[in-house]
Structure 1
Amino acid sequence: MTANVAVIGAGPAGLVVSRWLLSQGFEPSIFEQGPTLGGQWTAQPGRSGVWPGMHTNTSRILTAFSDLPIDGDLVFPSGAAILDYLHRYARLFALDSRIRFGVRVDAVARDGYRWAVSHGGEVEHFEKVVVATGRFHSPFIPTVPGLDTFAGSAGAISSYHYPGPSAYRGKRVLVAGCAVSALEIAADLAAHGAQHVVVTQRRQRYVLPKFAAGVPSDHRMFTRYGALADEVLPVAEIDRQLKEIVVESAGSPEQYGAPRPADSLFAAGVTLNQNYLPAVAEGSVTVRPWLQSVDGTAVTFGDGHTEAFDGIVFGTGFTLSLPFLDDHLRATLNLDAGGFDTDRHTFHPDLSGLAFMGMWDQSGGYFVPLELQARWIAYTWGGVIAAPSDAEQRAAVAACHERGPRKTRMNLAAITFARAAGVEPQRENWPDLRRALLFGPLAPSCFRLDGPDALPNAAARFAREAAAFGAITDNDLTDRERSYWSSVEQARASHHSAVSGK
């Protein structure tokens, strides 16, 4: 008997997990509360944080799934192009007919050996459920004394509700935060007619451009080497190497007139934007310490400076919101205490038949790790790979609880899920791609080289994608790459000697 699966959400996560569930013989029913598929990429007010004119901050190659490249030559496609891509993906795998539009899931609860999914006064039962509603729908607005008195004509909103720059033409705007959305919006406002733009931040991050020396920055920052290094090198050495890449690509913020960040990249943080630091350098964006209070239109900052604004935009992140999960599920997952206690963001040993997609926070694009997480779920439920043991899962959940919510990096998430799914590429199998598999981009094609659902054309496609912005398919490492890889090999040898007692 074919198992039926409820997939909640028809954004990228819901679509890709449905595609892979179908490949394992499951029958997914996709619940989507909106009128169309695409999740954030629909750009619908109130349902999406994508504003008019927005482009991806992740490159075309890494903003795609392994079965379908993005059309065209744009390195950073528009939001509309990504929405079109998701519609093509859904058609390719006949997912459209499985989506129930305008259906809001009100509750998910265990009912015996099955799962009860409630919507619109009805209850349906499923053998399995995948929650793929996204984690970027509930903006976090920090507490600021007097914020409720703000009287600017453009109001105080979150970046999730940013309508685009035209609403702020000729206005004085304060943008709060230093993450991607805050800097994207500040640069957008400065370039499109705002009278005055100020960014207020708790700390100065390093800022990596989207493009440096003809190469998308996510090809440089999110490599398999970086994931391997993270496992064996001291944190200080990983910090040094990543900072070296960032500063070499963009310099340090104080060189542009922004505050000087902490020496440690991990302490300061890093964010991505092409135009923000140049805007600071030319004076079209001013940087202030964190705002301390609001009184009418007046905002006072940590340095005592007070200034009047017409609008405030908070780019200060999101909280994980899964209101349809019942009290038992919420307690098991530790949600109400601000946690999300799971085995690698996906399973819990006490919640058999329930899985989550895309609920972690990271730097870098989500498409590649989402597909790998989807394959892990489908392969586990389909019996292609062995499920983690109960003891392994409980240890992973305990470690997650101890660690608490923590931001990760795209390459760390991708390799974690690739290993879980049994599809991590093996360098020894591909001698002509050894350098690309270490220091090239984590393109989706490289995860179709080995393991279940390997493709005969994956090597040729990965070679093209790795070489798209430089000769990364050369097998000879650069001096820096050789130095980096040597440090990893030495650390591995030292660990092996310590474990073996030699």
Structure 2
Amino acid sequence: MARDVAVIGAGPGGLVAARWLAAQGFEPTIFERSPVLGGQWAGIAGRSGVWPTMHTNTSSVLTAFSDLDHDGPAVHPSNRDVLTYLERYARTFALTERIRFDCPVHRVGRDGTGWRIDHAGGTDHVERVVVASGRFQSPTRPTIPGLASFTGRAGVTSTFDYRGADPFRGARVLVVGGAISALEIASELAVLGAERVVVTQRRQRYVLPKFAAGVPSDHRMFTRYGVLAGETLPPAEVDAQVLRIVLEAGGSPDQYGAPTPDPSPSVAGVTLCQQYLPLVAEGRIAVRPWPTSVSGRSVRFSDGRSEDFDAILFGTGFEATLPFLSEDVREVLGADGEHLDVDRYTFHPDLPGLAFAGMWDQSGGYFVPLELQARWIAYAWGGAVRAPDVGEQRAAVATCRARRGTPQKTRMNAAALGFARAAGVEPHLERWPDLRRALLFGPLAPSQFRLEGPDALPGAAERFARDASTFGCITTGDFTDLERRHLEAIGAPAPA
């Protein structure tokens, strides 16, 4: 039992956790309730919000782990490409034989100094547990008076259950929400035969095209500099810099005929979606304020107008559900539908041997921070880095509790850098003068986190230089004047 770890979930988080735990000498067993691996990317109805025509809104460089590239040409892989990638990853690191398929976990509870796992195949006693069961499985639906009375022929459903446009051909569809699934599905319906598509949102988000001027937008948005700026600059200045990127790439929604968003991107939010705003501009998608009531087929909006619909699709977020955790564990964690009181989304000082992977809400791709979090877990448990200080953990837990009631979403680059620092793999800029510009303003490619620290790779510098310059966004050349001004603002001037 001494080195046994139960990993709950065979999606990206569970697979990458098991890979790095095994590298540290642990014996992970992965418990997966489905008959196949992949988690959301398996596309199983009722267990996945991935629809058949879905492509990633993050680039292939940032939708990969550090030791396996995608083998296809797509810049934004399809869901099938991602599943194939995960299957190949599992084969490469001999993970498939560690998975117990069709084996849902019923209960996880403390068992002396270890943990007891009750599952469909019986009971296991292990030293440690990684919960990687996923954050996006239980869609939420806001309360709208009269919603239960809706009589449209295609009914009320969630984007989580959307499996294609066929049921909505010739229909008048109201899509509720402003995040990626709502906007992508609204766009698909508008071009695949819906009679009318209306999107309603509590607030207008900025919408960033997935690809702009030949460069994936996530390569511009999720950088190390963005984290440093957030740590050192006034929030208004950070907002101004983010807004500049968004407006240069895609303009403002009001230019397309959508409502005017809040001047602050951090207040309005940003969604990556390629086709939505052009379809609004063409009149193929209409935008309405938030609904105030439903009666039969009729939906009334806050501007006083009403309209009849055949279907309502909700893309309004998810509740975090961990029903298998014992009641005492849930109490320690303060677990509810939105919160877990843990240190950096991972550990709790009063629950040694328990860790969480991927259980946070963010904008941007998950693969890079998932791998860094997995490495931190494996390194901390295996002794490759200093275990987290209990006092620091208690302070982090107190901060989590104090933030309840405030927006919980984080950004991919902040999560990734936080985990990289904890795992001891954030590269030191002074050690890589030829890569300094790419390390600051280039994409958070996973290869940069193999430059130094545990598991550094000899060829990582060349690979990162390639990843950073793939789309001509970042090279190893001189800093631009704008980049120099940005660096001076955060107290890190570029070399002459």
- Give TM-score, length-normalised by structure 2: 0.97
User: Is the Cα contact below 8 Å between 1:2 and 1:25 reproduced in 2?
Assistant: no
2-side partners of 1:128 and 1:482: how far apart?
47
Match of 1:146 in 2: 146
Q: In structure 2, how many angstroms separate the alpha carbons of the residues matched to 1:352 and 1:463?
A: 39
Report deviation, 1:339.
Answer: 2.3
Matches of 1:136 and 1:225 in 2, distance apart?
29
Correspondence list, 1:323-472, <5 A: 323-336=323-336, 338-404=338-404, 406-470=408-472, 472=474
CA distance in 1, matches of 2:441, 2:115: 43
Task: Give 3-state SS (helix, strand or coil) of 2:59's partner.
Answer: coil
Match in the other structure for 1:183: 183
Name the counterpart of 2:253: 253
Please tell me the residue identity of whatever aligns with 1:106.
Answer: H
CA distance in 1, matches of 2:428, 2:123: 46
Query: Which whole-Å CA distance do the structure 2 matches of 1:329 and 1:181 have between them?
Result: 32
Query: Does structure 1 residue 273 correspond to structure 2 residue 273?
Result: yes
Which whole-Å deviations, capped at 9, do the CAs of 1:367-396 have from their partners, x for residues lacking one?
000000000000000001111111011011
Name whichever of 440-449 and 466-475 sits farther off: 466-475
2: distance between equivalents of 1:121 and 1:253? Answer: 52
Query: How far does the alpha carbon of each residue in 1:305-334 deviate from its partner, in whole angstroms, 9 at most, with x for none?
Result: 111111111010001100110111111111
SS in 1 for 2:319: coil
Q: Work out the CA distance in 2 between the residues paired with 1:23 and 1:256.
A: 51
1:300 is the counterpart of 2:307: no
Question: For residue 445 of structure 1, what is the amino acid of its counterpart?
Answer: S
> Matches of 1:110 and 1:72 in 2, distance apart?
44
Alignment match, 2:66: 66
Of residues 142-151 and 128-137 in structure 1, the stretch that sits farther from structure 2 once superposed is 142-151
| 1:166 shift after superposition | 2.0
Say whether residues 1:126 and 2:144 are aligned partners: no
- In structure 1, the gaps of 5 or more residues are 492-502
Amino acid at match of 1:196: R
Please state how far the C-alpha of 1:429 moved relative to its aligned partner.
Answer: 1.2
User: What amino acid is aligned across from residue 360 of structure 2 in structure 1?
Assistant: W
State the SS of the aligned residue for 1:335. coil
Any conservation in 1 of the 2:223–2:440 contact (CA below 8 Å)? yes
Query: Partners of 1:133 and 1:296 in 2: how far apart?
Result: 38
- What is residue 498 of structure 1 aligned with on the other side? none
What CA distance in whole angstroms lies between the structure 1 residues aligned with 2:338 and 2:274? 33
- Tell whether the 8 Å contact from 2:321 to 2:337 is kept in structure 1 after alignment: no
SS in 2 for 1:261: coil
Name 1:497's counterpart in structure 2.
none
Determine the structure 1 residue equivalent to 2:29. Answer: 29
CA contact (8 A) 2:239 2:264 kept: yes
Q: Is the 8 A contact 2:2 2:126 kept in 1?
A: no
8 A contact 2:215–2:473 mirrored in 1: no
- Counting only pairs closer than 5 Å after superposition, residues 161-200 of structure 1 correspond to structure 2 as 161-200=161-200
Return the offset for 1:121.
7.2
Q: Deviations over 1:76-135 (max 9, x none)?
A: 010000000000000000101110000110100001111011113722111000000000
**Residues 1:157 and 2:157 are matched in the alignment:** yes
| Deviation of the 1:163 alpha carbon | 1.3
The AA in structure 2 aligned to 1:154 is A
Paired residue type of 2:466: R
User: What secondary structure, in the 3-state scheme, does the structure 2 residue paired with 1:238 have?
Assistant: helix
> How far is 1:265 from its partner?
1.3
Task: Report the more deviating stretch, 258-267 or 135-144.
Answer: 258-267
The alpha carbon displacement at 1:403 in A equals 1.5
Asked if 1:212 corresponds to 2:182, the answer is: no
What CA RMSD, in Å, does the superposition of the two structures yield over aligned residues? 1.2
Cα distance in structure 2, aligned partners of 1:139 and 1:232: 36
Describe the SS at the equivalent of 1:489.
coil
Return the alpha-carbon distance in structure 2 between the equivalents of residues 312 and 478 of structure 1. Answer: 48
Alpha-carbon distance in structure 1 between the residues aligned to 2:25 and 2:286 = 56
Counterparts of 1:471 and 1:444, CA distance in 2: 17
Equivalent position SS for 1:245 = helix
Counterparts of 1:106-121 in structure 2, within 5 Å, are: 106-120=106-120
**SS at 1:240 equivalent:** helix
Aligned counterparts of 2:375 and 2:435: Cα–Cα separation in 1 = 23
The answer to whether the 8 Å contact 2:442/2:473 transfers is no
Checking the alignment, whether the CA contact within 8 Å between 2:364 and 2:411 is kept in structure 1 is: yes
CA offsets per residue over residues 343-385 of structure 1, 9 Å max, x none? 0000000000000000111110000000000000000000011
CA gap of 1:436–1:337, structure 2 versus 1, over 3 A, is closer
> For the Cα contact (< 8 Å) 2:171–2:194, is it kept in 1?
yes
**Aligned residue for 1:499?**
none
Distance 1:15 1:244 in 2: 37
Aligned AA (2:103) = V
For residues 458 and 339 of structure 1, the distance between their equivalents in structure 2, rounded to whole angstroms, comes to 36
Partner of 1:496: none
Instruction: Give ranges in structure 2 of 5+ residues lacking alignment.
Output: none
Same amino acid, percent of matched pairs: 65
Map 1:72-87 to 2 at 5 A: 72-87=72-87
The CA distance in 2 between the partners of 1:236 and 1:471, in whole Å, is: 25
CA contact (8 A) 1:432 1:473 kept: no
Q: Is the 8 A contact 2:341 2:400 kept in 1?
A: yes
SS in 2 for 1:10: coil
